[in-house]
């Protein structure tokens, strides 16, 4: 199949004898019946458009003109006897409306699920609160241990104990994060 545009040879082209007035008010001039058919097929012109033979003065409604029989869009006479499945693997099933009993079961299940979700949300909120409190207690405990070390030991020993405490704490936090 060629992708080139069809070209009309001037010797074989039908005579251009028509003017076509479209619904938007524009007028297309020097058309042959193939051009008029193309306008009708694309929906630019309809039976309510007006046509005029070049050289005449009277416009005629295209749907009432004898040319309409030649350029009118063709009506498909194909009728489907059975609906065709979109996919050959798809099987047709009758879908029926939900009974009141099924709707009641769905509503009950919906309520149970909402209650579970709300209970989980409350537990998560309590868990976050406890995590925050434990973190605060841990920080306060480290500060207290550091104060005890600083006030009871010599400066050098206190510095070494604080460095060891910070390193052990950081290792513990990294271990918790990686786990």
116-to-104, 111, 126, 130, 177 alpha-carbon distances in Å: 18, 9, 15, 21, 29
Report which of residues 4 and 63 the model is more confident about: 63
d(C-alpha 18, C-alpha 60), whole Å:
11
Number of domains composing the chain: 2
Q: What is the mean pLDDT of the chain?
A: 83
* pLDDT of the residue at 173: 84
- Bridge partners of residue 61, in order along the sequence: 50
For 56-97, the pLDDT digits (tens) are: 888 989 888 888 888 888 776 766 666 665 666 667 777 778
For 6-21, the pLDDT digits (tens) are: 665 556 677 778 888 8
Residue 99 falls inside a structural domain:
no
Whether residues 111 and 64 share a domain: the answer is no
Residue 158 falls inside a structural domain:
yes
φ, ψ of residue 87 in degrees (nearest 5): -125, 130
Residue 87 falls inside a structural domain:
no
d(C-alpha 166, C-alpha 41), whole Å:
83
* pLDDT of the residue at 32: 87
- pLDDT-derived band at 142, boundaries 50, 70, 90: confident
Say if pTM beats, i.e. exceeds, 0.75: no
Residue 24 falls inside a structural domain:
yes
Domain C-terminal end among 54, 71, 88: 71
Residue 144 falls inside a structural domain:
yes
> Which residues span the domain enclosing 47?
18-71
Residue 128 falls inside a structural domain:
yes
């Amino acid at each position: 199949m060629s992708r080139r545009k069809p070209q009309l040879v001037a010797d074989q082209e039908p005579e251009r004898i028509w003017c076509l007035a479209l619904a938007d008010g524009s007028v297309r001039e020097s058309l042959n019946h193939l051009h008029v058919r193309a306008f009708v097929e694309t929906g630019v012109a309809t039976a309510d458009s007006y046509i005029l033979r070049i050289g005449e003065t009277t416009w005629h409604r295209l749907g009432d003109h004898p040319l309409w029989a030649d350029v009118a869009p063709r009506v498909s006479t194909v009728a489907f006897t059975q609906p065709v499945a979109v996919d050959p693997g798809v099987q047709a099933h009758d879908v029926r409306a939900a009974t009141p009993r099924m709707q009641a079961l769905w509503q009950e299940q919906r309520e149970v699920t909402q209650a579970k979700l709300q209970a989980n949300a409350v537990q998560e909120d309590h868990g976050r609160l406890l995590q925050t409190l434990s973190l605060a207690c841990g920080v306060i405990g480290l500060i207290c241990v550091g104060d005890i070390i600083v006030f009871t030991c010599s400066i050098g020993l206190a510095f070494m104990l604080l460095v060891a405490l910070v390193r052990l704490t950081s290792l513990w936090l990294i271990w918790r994060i990686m786990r």
